[in-house]
Each structure stands twice: as structure tokens, then as C-alpha cells.
Amino acid sequence: MTVAIKADARSIRRIAISHRLSRWDVRLSPYLYISPFFVLFGLVGLFPLLYTAWVSVHDWNLIGGQGDFVGVDNYVTVLSQPYFWTSLRNTFSIFLLSSVPQVLLAIGIAAFLDYNLRAKTLWRMGVLLPYVVAPVAVALIFSNMFGDRFGLINEILGGLGIDPIRWHVDIIPSHLAIATMVNFRWTGYNALIFLAAMQAVPRDYYEAAIIDGANRLRTFWSITIPLLRPVIIFVIITSTIGGLQIFDEPRMFDTAGQGGANRQWQTLTLYIYELGWGQRNFGRASAVAWLLFLIILVIAVLNFVITRRIAGSTERRIRTKGTR
């Protein structure tokens, strides 16, 4: 009798322990599944960011290493340099010339690929090919196309009787050339993102709109665009982050890699590279990096707020029309 009671007690204890472990599994397993991302982000993302902030408040040299604590002196010095403001102007100019047409072209290409085409897979793979090409190869090809003397573009313009454009001398032409490289690489990638979102839209909406007499342009503007709101916000934010961090294309646009003789197309990332590896002043380079991080953060938040308001007003108009 006593043995049976003890056996029952042990079985009850095992059931209680297994029940407790199962509860812990339900509570802790989701955090364990997502923990690798946060561990990796902490090692390669958060720690370098915080360490850069520490370097930016010190007189840090590439050879000598950490020096004296200087506080905000590196920030004050950088903000007083004309090259910083020139790089900031170039960064925003190239960003606007690349990101705005890129998003619009990506939506148009995605809408074209969303129709029933022959060899759809081939077309979709084709728009992704520029993204697969190495950025250095793209920059070398396009820098030769936009050559001042023997470039393909100026050869065509000369045949049309138009004076050649000084792509590597003037400010706006150099920005257009670099923005063309960026658009060539990223438009197809963003188009596939928009295409995936368009294919998730229920086809019943389009059929109902066509029955009501709406044409393709009307259905695209009144149904597709409002339902793409989350994806448009995502692409705009990622394009903002990538556009303000552009480095490969302006770095390879000429042989010197400094952004032009007068820094016509030097971006903030090129300026960071020059301060860190050219002047070997990691303190000032880190200060510019943190200023760039704050600029990207502010612009991303503004983009998010503006796009949500525009999309929200559009959605309210659609609901108002639907209730009438």
C-alpha cells in the first residue's frame, strides 16, 4: 500500500514538473526563437553604434588610438567645415534624384508585371538582374558611359548637335549620373516588392470595379495604390536609409574617389571615409557618422508620418465614397 502511494506521488510529481516545463516552453520559446536576431543585432549593429558615439567624443587617431576626451569639439569642428555642408547638399541632391523616380518607376514596372504576360518568370528575373550585378561593375560601366570626352552619352548628344555635358565637372550632371546608377540597381528590386504586394490584393475588388465601369487606370489609382500603403511606406523608408548612405557609386565615379576636384559629388559617407582613412582622424569621422545617423532618423520619421497621413486621407476618401 505504501509503495503504491509513493508511486502515485512520484507520478503526480512528474506530471507537475512536465506541466511546469510545458508552461515555461509556451512562455519562453517565442523569445528563444527571436533571440538570435537580437544577439546578432547587438553584436554587429548596436555595439558599433554605441562605440562610434564613444569614439566621436575623443581625440581618436588611426595610429595613436584613443586620445583625450574632447566632448563635442569634434562635432563643432565638423560643423564648421565647408566640406561637411557641401557633402550634405550633395547627399540630399543625389538622394532626391534617385529615390523619387525609383519608387515611381518601381510601382509602374510592378503594375506592368502584374498583368497576364507571356514568360512572366523571365520578365521578373530580368528586372532583378541589375541588382545582382556588383556595384563596382555598375559604377565602372556607367562612369564610362558618362565620360566627359569619350562617353557614350556625349557621343549621342554630339551626333544630335548638342554640346557635350561635363558630367565630372558640373554639379547637377554629376548628381544625375550617380542617381542613374542607383536607379539602375534598385528599381527592379523595389518593383518585385511592389509586385508581391499587388498579387496579394484580392481579384474580386478589380472584378467589382470593372463591372461598375472603371477602367484599368481608375482601378489602379483607386484600389491598388491605397492597398499598397504599408509597402509604399516600407520602400520609402528603406530607400531613404539607403539613399542617404550611398557610397559605392560616387566612390567609383572617378579614379580619385574623393567626390570630384571641388567635391562636386562627395557624399557624407565619402566625407567620413576621407576623414577616417585619409586624414586618419577617427574622432571627427565618428562625429560625422553620428550626425548622418541622426539625419537619417529624422528623415525616416518624417517620411513615415507624411506617407501615413497621405495614405490615411486616401483611405478615408475611399470609405466615404463606398458608404454613399
Grid cell 571615409 is found at: 273
Residues present in the chain in total: 324
The band of 37, judged by pLDDT with boundaries at 50, 70 and 90, is: confident
Cα separations in angstroms, 240 against 100, 128, 285, 304? 10, 20, 21, 11
Interior CA angle at 231 toward 230 and 233, to 5°? 65
Stretch 162-189: mean pLDDT: 90
Reported as a single tens digit per residue, the pLDDT across 180-219 is: 999 998 998 999 999 988 888 887 887 788 777 777 778 8
Cα torsion through 70, 283, 237, 126, rounded to 10: 180
Q: Distance of alpha carbon 313 from its chain centroid, rounded?
A: 25
Q: Is-contact 92 295, C-beta < 8 A? A: no
**What are the cell numbers at 179?**
542617381
DSSP H stretches of helix in the chain: 2-41, 47-56, 73-79, 82-114, 120-132, 135-145, 152-159, 171-199, 203-211, 216-219, 225-227, 229-244, 248-251, 268-273, 282-323
Reported as a single tens digit per residue, the pLDDT across 112-160 is: 888 876 777 788 788 888 888 888 888 888 888 888 877 888 888 888 8
Whole-number Å distance between alpha carbons of 317 and 294: 35
Residue 65, classed as helix, strand or coil, is: strand
